Amino acid sequence: QAHTPGSRAIIAMSEGKRLVETGRVCLCNYGANLGKLVVIINVVDGRRVLVDGPNADPKKAVKRQIMPLARLSLTTIKCDIMPGARINTLTKAMKAADVVGKWNAGSWAKGMAKKEAKASMGDFDRFKMMVARKTRAKAVNKAMKKMVKK
């Protein structure tokens, strides 16, 4: 079977593989931009890509730059842009594809948020968490005992 680039892409999509391609949404997993979403604008070579991550929140925005692929974790989200798309086009395309919405709805983002919330718990919060776990365990055990008795 001859695999043309197009057919390869189709096969990859059907298998759920994430390709390095224009429009692929990625998460930065290293460096100053850790935790920020970016979109691949173009591919430089086998190791590096040109990325851009516009965001209304300046703390979450990533300037257009060349990033090594090692710093990026590919997501399943894509947006429809031409290679080299400029920031306004990119922003429109991201909105159309609802990149941020899809990302936040996914379990990946939810897991990250959960981890962050746990790490930022203060001493009092940890105490309240402990109390909540104990009360829940008590209620569960009580119900279990009732069920076991029957």
Partner 1 sequence: MPATTARKAGKRSVSKAKKVVRKVLSRTKIGKKAPHNESATVGRSASYKRSGKWAVKAKNKGKFPVVKAPAKKEEAKTKAPRFYAAEDVPKPFNRRNVVKPAKLRDSITPGTVLILLAGRFRGKRVVFLKQLPSGLLMVTGPYKVNGVPIRRVNQAFVIATTTKVDVTGVDVAKFDDAYFAKAAVKKSKNADEFFATAKPTEELSPARKADQKAVDSKILAAVKKQEFLKPYLNSRFSLSKGQNPHAMVF
Report the residue number, 63 or 133, with the smaller CB distance to partner 1. 133
Of 2, 88, 120, 147, the one binding partner 1 by CB under 8 A: 120
Of 123, 146, 148, 150, the one binding partner 1 by CB under 8 A: 123
CA–CA dist 27, 55 (Å, integer): 13
- For residue 97 the two structure tokens come to 């594809």
Considering the complex, what minimum distance in angstroms separates the CB of residue 125 from partner 1? 9
Binding segment (CB under 8 A) for partner 1, from list 17-25, 31-39, 91-99, 114-122: 114-122
- The answer for residues whose C-beta is within 8 angstroms of residue 11's C-beta and 6 or more apart is 3
- The answer for residues whose C-beta is within 8 angstroms of residue 75's C-beta and 6 or more apart is 18, 24, 25, 26, 27, 37, 103, 106, 108
Of 32, 119, 147, 148, the one binding partner 1 by CB under 8 A: 119
Q: Find the binding residues for partner 1 in span 19-58 (CB under 8 A).
A: none
By rule CB under 8 A, what count of residues binds partner 1? 9
Of 8, 17, 110, 128, the one binding partner 1 by CB under 8 A: 128
CA–CA dist 23, 11 (Å, integer): 18
Which three-class secondary structure state does DSSP give residue 20?
Answer: coil
